[in-house]
């Protein structure tokens, strides 16, 4: 017998289909079977009056640390955190230990994801073996095993000729090649943005140019080989400009932005609080404004958390020694609301597009919309609920969250993955 | 001295967060310790029964000895904890080390560390007072205080003076702390060095930037020559020691062109012939050794004050009160 | 609040104090007057001048800052944080007859601190204590050698001495 779920009287926002209206959604099995008024029927009922029904949220950028650093996060704990954050699909980055740089590793991640049975797990493979930036990894075999894109995230591919080869090679499999744009020679041993704060704190800085120059280089390479290219977590005014121009040229490029680059600035490092240590580093107010403007113009394609869990004991170190990263999967939605909807940068439909159909398009998967016959990945959101972020209550194994204690608005109530309710918020 | 002023900081992490009044209060307090060196018994019972630990994660004979002497003169017991390790990440963490020491009943931790922010991290994690004896490129508050003290001692006041700080500004905690105290006490500061050794947006700290020592030398009342650590900088920041000395070294020639009463300072240890010529370092304008003597008085004042603040806070917590001494 | 001494009475009391001190001053000149900061300092300076006027000889004077020797440093009262100031004694105290001067003798703790501070500077031959007011309630075996006035005020009342040089007015009050 197929299970049936009826979501009643919710505001269905399905940007891919240009839908924004109050209606009912009926799910049968793992598919959406009906949209429109449904009279009482034999189904599990979710009353959604005043709530938003969204296609399941997609996060293009998470670190679940498995294999290798299971004390920080596992695919199981990360998956549970993902559905708590409203995400029905996430894309795991390959910078584990060992790196995801061959087909069995890809299969391993998929298997752990299936076993966790929470969110849908996608994985990107490494571009180069062991992410060393020297030899191409087995991109073809990983593609066949299901890797939906390639990146050496954590660092960028430094050598232009290797990047060019990788772009050409990846395009053979119709996958997206992604880049953590950062020239190491310019970034040096930097631990935060190079600017006034790094001067005051006496910490080595990462100049915005380290990101911008690699992005610019990559855009030139894309011009040459016309492959599908995605720039990860852009953080600077200059990057926005380069990306805007690349899109104006009609290149097949896309990019994402992370909540911390929309909300936090370098000034927040002033107390040497390592929860603000992240790569790319927190920049300035002007950078935030430029990124918001880019979101408004549609230059940014996706909102991606870059959820990077770390143990408290690792973060309780000197700022120089602590690892980079912020854990934000479970509070991402209200953070985007705070950054983009509350100040009126974009509306709900545009924001949800950047969390559903547009990221789906980046990785080329058939998801991110909610029409009859579509897979029943659904996120139900209470846009008005006010709550306080408490990192100690995270399902994620890690607590390295600078938003701890923030008062936010907007809450995930239910997360439905393939017709199964995988998360229900405690009332 | 303002008699109603209360010193409230149980940690001394940096001078950036201190007001002019607080900075002057430290210097005024240090004045009370100045005559100690001339006494027959160079000791007061002020910190008797208190334990001071010198946690030095980076080599420094001079600063450590100065703190040890300061603590000893106040009758504190001093534990020397030295661990020079190039990697801050290996073995026991800083916080664990400090908590272990604290468990032995340490009252004041004096910390020198190669990572900027280490003292701040410590102050958040333990109950003892934390005194920064230099952290990375961040701050070296007691050095800058003794520099300011020395200038005040000779010139009476810093108001209206022009002070040049010459050398590797980018990698200098001494420069940063000096900029804060000097500008707050009314001096004009010019930082001088090659662009490769100038940190970004330094002018936002209210200083003037110059890359030409010869152009500014005539304006200076005080010149503070920073130590050039060529072994650490390699050939990346400037081509050679010879070239550096040529453009930025304090030579007899340059001193001749300066104001006749210019004060020549150096935080030590001196690289004779690199940033400063011997004749200048030992010459009549040099107050380098005076700086060292004043260092003890300033550090006594700092140890005394942080301990006072801690006692005050403890007092406010327990709410007990003692009879006033009369 | 009750006035214990007026301006005129302070002057008179100091005169009486002086007449008690003068006979004890050694003739060899090995004599110095040292005041305890801050009002003892003022009184010491006045006594110094008066002695010089009477004897026609220069008298060594100095000021002692006892902050570092206080026994309540680690239990300060909230609004009474001690301030360190310099001790200004430009001569060797060893083998001298030292007249230590303070405004009020109460618990005796200041005098104890002052004696410790003095002995850290050298080895005086004799230390004598002169105070303007002895109000009793000593907690240490310390007594003044020369007393201006004695008063038996309850311990919880405080006696405040105001002097022209430090306070801009001249009186002793109890409240």
CA angle B222, B228, B233 (to 5 degrees): 145
Whether C33 shows a pLDDT value over 90: the answer reads: yes
pLDDT band of residue C83 (cuts 50, 70, 90) is confident
The pLDDT value given to residue B235 = 64
The continuous run of DSSP H or E covering C34 comes out as strand C31-36
Domain B20-139+294-318, CATH class in plain words: alpha beta
Which chain B residues are closer than 8 Å to A313 by Cβ?
A: 93
Please, what is the end-to-end C-alpha distance for chain B in angstroms?
21
| Active-site residue list of B | 62-63, 90, 112, 140
Which of C65, C77, C83, C88 best tests the B interface by mutation, with the highest count of B CBs <10 A? C83
Question: Domain segments of chain A: what residues?
Answer: 4-53+374-398+405-424, 55-363
Which of A199, A274, A314 best tests the B interface by mutation, with the highest count of B CBs <10 A? A199
Whether C38 shows a pLDDT value over 90: the answer reads: no
The pLDDT value given to residue A166 = 97
Cα separation, C86 vs B232, in Å, equals 42
Q: Which of A280, A133, A157 is nearest to A217 (CA)?
A: A157
The pLDDT value given to residue B43 = 86
Asked if the Cβ–Cβ distance from A205 to B117 is below 8 Å, we say no
Asked if the Cβ–Cβ distance from A202 to B137 is below 8 Å, we say yes
The continuous run of DSSP H or E covering A42 comes out as none
Cα separation, B215 vs B220, in Å, equals 10
Cα separation, A122 vs A88, in Å, equals 11
Asked if the Cβ–Cβ distance from A320 to B113 is below 8 Å, we say no
pLDDT tens digits for range A316-340: 999 999 999 999 999 999 999 999 9
Which of B200, B232, B234 best tests the A interface by mutation, with the highest count of A CBs <10 A? B200
Both tokens of residue B112? 């020198």
Name the DSSP class of A326.
B
Q: Which domains does chain C have, with CATH numbers?
A: 2-71+83-174 (3.40.50.2020)
Domain A4-53+374-398+405-424, CATH class in plain words: mainly beta
pLDDT tens digits for range C86-125: 888 889 999 999 999 999 999 999 999 999 999 988 899 9
Whether A379 shows a pLDDT value over 90: the answer reads: yes
Which ipTM score applies to this complex?
A: 0.90
pLDDT band of residue B41 (cuts 50, 70, 90) is confident
Q: Which residues on neighbouring strands pair with residue A326, listed in sequence order?
A: A307
Which chain B residues are closer than 8 Å to A321 by Cβ?
A: 88-89, 115
Name the DSSP class of A252.
S
Whether B321 shows a pLDDT value over 60: the answer reads: no
Domain B141-290, CATH class in plain words: alpha beta
The pLDDT value given to residue B234 = 60
Domain A55-363, CATH class in plain words: alpha beta
The pLDDT value given to residue B93 = 87
- Per the CB < 8 A criterion, the answer to whether A359 and A393 are in contact is no
The pLDDT value given to residue B84 = 65
- Distance between B116 CA and the closest CA of chain A, angstroms: 6
* A306 catalytic residue (yes or no): yes
Cα separation, C175 vs C169, in Å, equals 17
- Distance between B25 CA and the closest CA of chain C, angstroms: 9
Whether B314 shows a pLDDT value over 80: the answer reads: no
pLDDT band of residue B323 (cuts 50, 70, 90) is very low
Catalytic-labelled residue, pool A101, A301, A306, A377:
A306
Write out the residue limits of the CATH 3.40.50.1370 domain(s) in chain B: 20-139+294-318, 141-290
Q: Where are the alpha helices (H) located in A43-122, listed in sequence order?
A: 75-84, 103-116
Which chain B residues are closer than 8 Å to A272 by Cβ?
A: 116-117, 120-121
Which chain A residues are closer than 8 Å to B130 by Cβ?
A: none
Computed over every residue of chain A, the mean pLDDT equals 97
- Per the CB < 8 A criterion, the answer to whether B53 and B79 are in contact is yes
């Amino acid at each position: 017998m197929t299970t049936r779920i009826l979501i009643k009287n919710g505001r269905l926002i399905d940007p891919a289909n240009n839908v924004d209206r109050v209606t009912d959604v009926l799910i049968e099995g793992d598919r959406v079977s009906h949209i429109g008024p449904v009279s009482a029927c034999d189904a599990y009922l979710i009353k959604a009056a005043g709530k938003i029904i969204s296609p399941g949220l997609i996060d293009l950028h998470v670190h679940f640390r498995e294999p290798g650093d299971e004390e920080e996060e596992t695919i199981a704990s990360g998956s549970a955190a993902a559905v708590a954050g409203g995400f029905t699909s996430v894309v795991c980055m390959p910078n584990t230990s060992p790196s995801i740089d061959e087909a069995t590793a890809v299969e391993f991640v998929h298997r752990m994801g299936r076993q966790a049975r929470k969110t849908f797990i996608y994985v990107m493979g490494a571009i180069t073996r062991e992410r060393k930036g020297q030899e191409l990894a087995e991109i073809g075999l990983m593609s066949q095993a299901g890797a939906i894109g390639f990146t050496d995230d954590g660092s960028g591919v430094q050598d232009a000729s290797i990047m060019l080869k990788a772009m050409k090679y990846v395009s053979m499999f119709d996958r997206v090649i992604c880049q953590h744009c950062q020239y190491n020679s310019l970034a040096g041993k930097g631990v935060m943005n190079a600017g006034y704060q790094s001067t005051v704190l006496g910490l080595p800085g990462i100049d915005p140019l380290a990101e911008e120059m690699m992005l610019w280089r990559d855009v030139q390479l894309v011009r040459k080989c016309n492959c599908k290219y995605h720039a990860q977590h852009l953080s600077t005014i200059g990057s926005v400009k380069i990306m805007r121009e690349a899109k104006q040229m009609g290149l097949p490029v896309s990019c994402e932005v992370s909540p911390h680059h929309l909300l936090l600035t370098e000034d927040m490092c002033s107390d040497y609080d390592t929860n603000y240590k992240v790569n790319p580093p927190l920049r300035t107010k002007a950078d935030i404004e430029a990124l918001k403007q880019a979101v408004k113009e549609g230059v940014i394609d996706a909102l991606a958390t870059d959820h990077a869990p770390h143990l408290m004991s690792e973060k309780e170190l000197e700022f120089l020694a602590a690892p980079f990263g912020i854990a934000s999967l479970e509070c991402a939605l209200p953070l985007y609301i705070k950054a983009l909807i509350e100040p009126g940068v974009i509306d709900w439909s545009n924001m949800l597009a950047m969390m559903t159909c547009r990221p789906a398009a980046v990785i080329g998967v058939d998801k991110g919309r909610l029409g009859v016959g579509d897979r029943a990945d659904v996120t139900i959101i209470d846009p008005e609920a006010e709550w306080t972020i408490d990192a100690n209550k995270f399902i994620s194994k890690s607590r390295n969250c600078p938003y701890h204690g923030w008062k936010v608005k907007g809450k995930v109530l239910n997360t439905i993955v393939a017709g199964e309710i995988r998360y229900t918020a405690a009332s | 001295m303002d008699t109603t002023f209360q010193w409230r900081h149980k940690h001394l992490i940096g001078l950036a967060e201190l007001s002019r009044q607080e900075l002057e209060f430290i210097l005024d307090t240090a004045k009370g310790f100045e005559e100690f060196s001339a006494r027959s018994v160079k000791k007061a019972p002020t910190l008797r029964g208190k334990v001071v630990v010198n946690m030095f994660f980076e080599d420094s004979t001079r600063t450590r000895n100065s703190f040890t002497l300061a603590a000893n003169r106040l009758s504190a017991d001093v534990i020397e904890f030295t661990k020079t390790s190039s990697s801050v990440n290996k073995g026991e963490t800083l916080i664990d080390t400090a908590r272990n020491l604290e468990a032995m009943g340490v009252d004041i931790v004096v910390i020198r560390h190669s990572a900027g922010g280490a003292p701040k991290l410590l102050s958040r994690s333990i109950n003892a007072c934390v005194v920064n004896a230099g952290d990375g490129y961040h701050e070296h508050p007691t050095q800058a205080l003794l520099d300011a003290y020395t200038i005040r001692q000779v010139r009476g006041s810093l108001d209206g003076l022009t002070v040049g700080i010459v050398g590797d500004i980018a990698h200098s905690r001494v420069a940063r702390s000096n900029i804060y105290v000097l500008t707050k006490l009314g001096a004009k500061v010019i930082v001088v060095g090659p662009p490769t050794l100038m940190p970004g947006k330094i002018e936002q700290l209210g200083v003037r930037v110059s890359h030409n020592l010869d152009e500014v030398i005539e304006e200076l009342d005080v010149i503070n020559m920073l130590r050039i650590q060529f072994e650490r900088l390699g050939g990346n920041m400037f081509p050679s020691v010879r070239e550096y000395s040529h453009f930025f070294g304090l030579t007899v020639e340059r001193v001749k062109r300066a104001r006749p009463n210019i004060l020549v300072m150096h935080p030590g240890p001196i690289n004779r012939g690199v940033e400063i010529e011997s004749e200048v370092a030992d010459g009549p304008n040099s107050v380098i050794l005076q700086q060292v003597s004043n260092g003890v008085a300033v550090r006594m004042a700092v140890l005394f004050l942080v301990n006072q603040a801690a006692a005050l806070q403890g007092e406010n917590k327990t709410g007990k009160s003692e009879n006033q001494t009369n | 609040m009750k006035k214990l001494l007026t301006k005129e009475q302070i002057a008179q009391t100091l005169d009486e104090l002086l007449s008690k001190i003068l006979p004890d001053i050694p003739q060899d000149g090995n004599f110095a007057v040292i005041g305890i900061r801050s009002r003892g300092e003022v009184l010491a300076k006045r006594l110094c001048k008066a002695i010089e006027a009477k004897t026609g000889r220069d008298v060594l004077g100095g000021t002692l800052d006892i902050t570092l020797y206080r026994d309540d440093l680690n239990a300060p009262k909230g609004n009474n944080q001690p301030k360190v100031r310099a001790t200004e004694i430009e001569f060797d105290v060893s083998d001298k007859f030292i007249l230590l001067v303070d405004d009020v003798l109460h618990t005796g703790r200041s005098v104890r601190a002052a004696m410790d501070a003095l002995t850290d500077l050298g080895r005086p031959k004799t230390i004598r204590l002169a105070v303007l007011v002895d109000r009793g309630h000593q907690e240490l075996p310390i007594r003044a050698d020369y007393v201006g006035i004695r008063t038996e005020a309850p311990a919880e009342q405080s006696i405040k001495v105001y002097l022209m040089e430090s306070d801009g007015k001249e009186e002793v009050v109890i409240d």
